[in-house]
Amino acid sequence: MKMNRFVACALLTPCAFAAQAHAFDVVEAGEPVVTGEPSRVGPPWNHRSTINIPGTQTDIAFGGYVKLDAFYDFDYDLGTSTNPYAVMNPGNKTDGRTSFTAYESRLNFRTQTQTDYGRLSTYFEGHFVPDGKFGLRHAYGELNGFLAGQTWSNFMSFVGGTRTLALGDPKGYAFERQAQLRYTQPVGDGTFSAALENPTTVIARNDADVADGESQLPDLTLRYEYKRLFALSGIARQLSTNNITNTIDDDATGYGIQAQFNMPFSSTTSLRGSATFGEGIGNYMGNPGNVGHRNAPDVYVEGTDIETIETQAFGLSLNHYWTDSWFSSAGVSRLEQDLPSGYGDHFETLDYAFANVIWDVTERMAVGLEYQHADIEQVNGDANDASRLQASATFQF
């Protein structure tokens, strides 16, 4: 049965892309613009028409999409957005389960204002993952390269990512949204950005649960991107319990580096990838808003001290446009963390594979089918795997 699933995965052969976009240019009211955050769902990269507020230099735009996801879980219920860590919970076992959800549907609102200091842009977005309640994804403002608010971490990049039906990048990619203060500066054909970001210390516990610590200093992240072909980022952070565990008051230093690439083979085919290494960066390696990302903690307790957890990860995907409206992507990724034997119920390695085919029916509608497979091995040696088939329909507005 497992072999048949991988055969099905291979037959869905390799496309798509997610590229970095910036705040939109000032345009006349009613004219189409390309706006803010890079689209995760395909064309038309969030083309919207603006509305001018009479008597002002401010244009506004509303947008978002409605998305239906239909899942069939073969082995474990992986939740409303694919959460491979659900495999570690025996209560999620199933002999086969179908479920539908529209929780990923989202709403966003943007403004752009011409000021004496340049263009001022704001962006606000929310969705309904994971429980149907409206939750904040992005809320930030930008002026002359300065950004303040909540958005994607400066440690991550979309250069090496790919388009999937499952929400977020596959495991093995840095993926986090949080409050930050960032400055971005063009450098030749690329951009350099530095940010101070909200610090969170996730502490592993022996019972497979985690606890939050406190940090005195913000996380520092740096990133350089070149022509959407290459990105290199780094992070340095202080990790601390600050007496929050009652018996331990200690701190440690975390650091990490990530490289991503996009290698076009032709106008229709590309290979994309990511590699990440570090210590104490676990909470950057997951899906924000999804409880699963807390399964990769930053530190563990050793006596009266905390020790950083070594993390390494990679992802690779092959992307291919069959036509202007049909494309596929197929990929594999891996996330590893090094924990001592006393933390046996935590995961040690997570392997993930996917393959999809997506049809952009119109510029505002897409449908697709995706196969997903997750394989987890825990520190105590237990190993389990799960497969999911996902069909989706997305309507942008």
| Cα–Cα–Cα angle for 341, 346, 352, rounded to 5 degrees | 125
In this prediction, residues 57-71 reach a mean pLDDT of: 93
CATH number at residue 384: 2.40.160.10
pLDDT 10s digits, 269-298: 999 999 999 999 998 997 544 344 457 889
Residues β-bridged to residue 317: 272, 331
pTM of the entire structure?
Answer: 0.85
Mean pLDDT within 220-235: 97
Interval 372-391: pLDDT, tens: 999 999 999 999 999 999 99
Phi, psi of 318 (to 5 degrees): -110, 130
326, 272 contact by CB (below 8 A): no
Q: What is the pLDDT of residue 245?
A: 56
Structure tokens at 354: 């996917």
Q: What are phi and psi of 157, to 5 degrees?
A: -150, 155
Highest mean pLDDT among 169-178, 180-189, 245-254: 180-189
Is the CB of residue 296 less than 8 Å from the CB of residue 282?
A: yes
Range of the domain at 227: 2-396
- As a whole number, mean pLDDT of residues 303-310 equals 90
Choice among 40-49, 128-137, 385-394 with the minimum mean pLDDT: 40-49
The domain total for the chain is 1
* CA distances (Å), origin 319, targets 71, 246, 266, 388: 23, 50, 11, 21
Cβ-based neighbour number of residue 31 at 10 Å: 11
For residues 299 and 334, the answer to whether their CB atoms sit within 8 Å is no
